[in-house]
Amino acid sequence: MVRDYSLAGETGRSADDCALTNPNWYRPQVDPTAIRALMKKSDAIALRDTLLWIGGMIVSAGIAIALWPSWWSAPFWFIYGVLYGSASDSRWHECGHKTAFETAWMNNVVYHIASFMLMRNPVVWRASHVRHHTDTVIVGRDPEIVAMRPPDLARLVLNFFGLVDVYHLVARMILHARGRLHPDEATYVRAADHNRVFLVARIWLLIYACIAALALWMGSILPFMVVGLPRLYGAWHHVMTGVLQHLGLAENVTDHRLNTRTVLMNPISRFIYLNMNYHVEHHMFTMVPYYRLPQLHELIKHDVPRPEPSIWAAFKRLVPVLVKQLRYEDAVIIPVLPEGANPYREEVERLRPFAV
């Protein structure tokens, strides 16, 4: 049976009836003073990482343009694409939480730049992400569930090249420019923000129209190689890391240890991803900046599942679950807690017959 994941349908109303809306999430008991220290934001660290990101894009794009249309430009387009189409995802995320910089306007500037790169309307997606955190992987409530049950593996593969995402995002951009919201968006975007949604979409369409005009004038796709197309050819890293956040784990639970995954990653991926591989930690304490998540992990590791040791190991464990979900929808990973951790709530018992 295919589950209804729409936010405006009966499933969302059922989540309300089952008291799954904005539930009381489990949190480890830790010293509040230690958490307050970890919540301290730093303009210097965030500015350093932002300048490395933007500088990397300028240098790689500059070399790629200079070598265009030779195939020698391909490695530099590859680097530029990942910085544009993947690293922008984590910058969008952290600045959307307003935790990267201490100075508010710096968060807002980077958030809007990254939102444009990702084609995510900044007004809609800020509201969407608030809902994602209040109702994480609650069916009918969370607008950011990336794979339904049973999983659509073809869609997942196509999204490694941004094809499905961009198709829907462009369609939403056009819808917003016409002064309309999708019914699901209307469940979490405030009425007072609707006109801002429409204005952003119209400005963005004008920008893309200018890029298209420049491409026609030049007789080359080069302008789109710089703006727009990297959202496709550079999306693979943010999709690869993003699907590991919640996929294959439990739905409709109130403990992030059951529905969220932490994965240890190499330094390059951690820079691109801004430490969001510490995802259990992030969901439990959302106001801790990305550069302090490793310290947060050390503080609470006694009460959370052991991280997957690598991206490869995480997928090795995940793929068999997805294959089983193709045959029956309730196959699920139940992460093992360390000895001495607080046990899962009673809701875990309904998952045990389906544990893989």
% of the chain at pLDDT higher than 70: 99
- Is 187 contained in some domain? yes
Look up the pTM and report it.
0.95
- Is 5 contained in some domain? no
Cα dihedral sign, 107-234-225-118: negative
- Is 171 contained in some domain? yes
- Residue 1 pLDDT exceeds 70: no
* Peptide bond just before 69 cis, omega within 30 deg: yes
- Is 4 contained in some domain? no
The model's pLDDT over 40-53, given as tens digits with 9 standing for 90+, comes to: 999 999 999 999 99
DSSP letter string, 254-319: S-HHHH--BB---HHHHHHHTTTTBHHHHHHSTTS-GGGHHHHHHHHGGGSPPPBSSHHHHHHHHH
Tokens of 171: 């369609």
Q: What is the mean pLDDT of the chain?
A: 95
**Which amino acid, residue 272?**
I
Residue with tokens 């544009």: 84
Maximum CA pair distance of the chain?
67
- Is 279 contained in some domain? yes
- Residue 16 pLDDT exceeds 80: no
Least confident piece of the model among 143-152, 181-190, 238-247, 283-292: 143-152
Closest Cα to residue 250, out of 167, 150, 354? Answer: 354
Identify the domain containing residue 47 by its residue range: 10-354
- pLDDT, greater one: 292 or 6: 292
Least confident piece of the model among 20-24, 76-80, 173-177, 265-269: 20-24
- Is 3 contained in some domain? no
Return the C-alpha torsion angle 60, 65, 67, 68, nearest 10: 130
- Is 2 contained in some domain? no
- Residue 2 pLDDT exceeds 70: no
Q: How many structural domains compose the chain?
A: 1
Structure confidence at residue 13 (pLDDT): 78
Structure confidence at residue 154 (pLDDT): 85
